[in-house]
Amino acid sequence: MSIYIKEMRAFLSRLLLVLFCTSILAHAGTNPSWTTPIAPFQIADNFYYVGSQDLASYLIVTPKGNILIDANLVSSPPQIRASVEKLGFRWKDIRILLNGQAHFDHMGGAAEVIRETHAKNMVMDGDVSVAETGARTDFLSPSPNIPTYPRVHVDRVLHDGDTVSLGGVTLTAHKTAGHTRGCTTWTMRAHLPGEPAGTTRNIVIVGGVSFWSEYHFVATPGHPVSYPGIGQDFQHTFAVLRGLPCDVFLGAHGEYFNMLSKLKHYPQDGPRVFIDPAGYRDFVADAQKTFELALHKQQAAAAR
């Protein structure tokens, strides 16, 4: 009887995984760059890109084990694992899993990564409930734009300014809320291959600044704010991002930092192609302008 129960549980687990993958792949089907593999590459001495053509995932290697930032879609862990192993590192050496936001395209694969590696899952306050309910408590849920994913336990709740350290590497978590309540921008310092010994660069990994028509920053008839303080959160986020020193500009999506275009020059210039402080400033300024235009439009509608 116990063998039968175990077999049924295994079957149901596989069935649920297939259903989750089918749902998410259908949602992501219009953007094949989310699931198309790309050869992994080095960004800094101990820092690597292991994501797809657009969904970014980053591996930080330390003597005490490794850190993975973003598990991406439910279907992504095999692709991320293949990239990690292609670089010569062991999948089971991942000790910590971090993320930039709790949407399905960045945390959908978290439960699988943790099941396979036993990594500690660390999530910014504001996104903890979303992660542990598989997006069912997202402020936009239920919505076709917010697919659910396997629930995942959070081992450490992060707060703005907290640091995560392992094997001599330290990352700082900056709460840049709005896109999600706990959206997180990560920063660290690292040495780039080919640069003088002792020289380190400021690396910024933007968690997300976008929104769409479902986001309501101002209450209008029939549409309350998406969550109390969302407009102020976005404004705070842009102030934080403007104040971060940035040499190497990265993000939760490759499109944020024009990754594919920069990779065309990678064979000649190496990781230095990602040194782009001007591109970072332009990205933040453009995102803030887009937000302010939407805010003013909603304010005008509310005043009618």
196 lies in a domain?
Answer: yes
pLDDT 10s digits, 31-69: 899 999 999 999 999 999 999 999 999 999 999 999 999
Which residue range is the domain that position 209 belongs to? 35-303
Phi, psi of 79 (to 5 degrees): -65, -45
Contact 47, 167 (CB under 8 A): no
Average pLDDT over residues 160-185: 98
- The CATH number given to whatever domain includes residue 125 is 3.60.15.10
Inform me whether the pLDDT recorded for 20 exceeds 60: no
Q: Give the model's pLDDT for residue 11.
A: 40
Inform me whether the pLDDT recorded for 227 exceeds 90: yes
Work out how many domains the chain is built from and give that number: 1
Query: What is the band of 161 on the pLDDT scale with cuts at 50, 70, 90?
Result: very high
Query: What is the band of 223 on the pLDDT scale with cuts at 50, 70, 90?
Result: confident
Query: What is the band of 222 on the pLDDT scale with cuts at 50, 70, 90?
Result: confident
Question: What is the rounded CA–CA span in Å between residue 156 and residue 120?
Answer: 8
240 lies in a domain?
Answer: yes
248 lies in a domain?
Answer: yes
Question: What is the rounded CA–CA span in Å between residue 233 and residue 208?
Answer: 12
Average pLDDT over residues 243-250: 98
Considering the chain, what is the average pLDDT of its residues? 91
Q: Give the model's pLDDT for residue 70.
A: 98
297 lies in a domain?
Answer: yes
Of 63, 97, 47, 100, the residue nearest 77 (C-alpha): 97
Question: What is the rounded CA–CA span in Å between residue 50 and residue 28?
Answer: 19
Query: What is the band of 113 on the pLDDT scale with cuts at 50, 70, 90?
Result: very high
284 lies in a domain?
Answer: yes
7 lies in a domain?
Answer: no
Helix (H, G, I), strand (E, B) or coil at 109: coil
173 lies in a domain?
Answer: yes
Token digits of residue 145: 């734009």
Question: What is the rounded CA–CA span in Å between residue 25 and residue 9?
Answer: 24
9 lies in a domain?
Answer: no
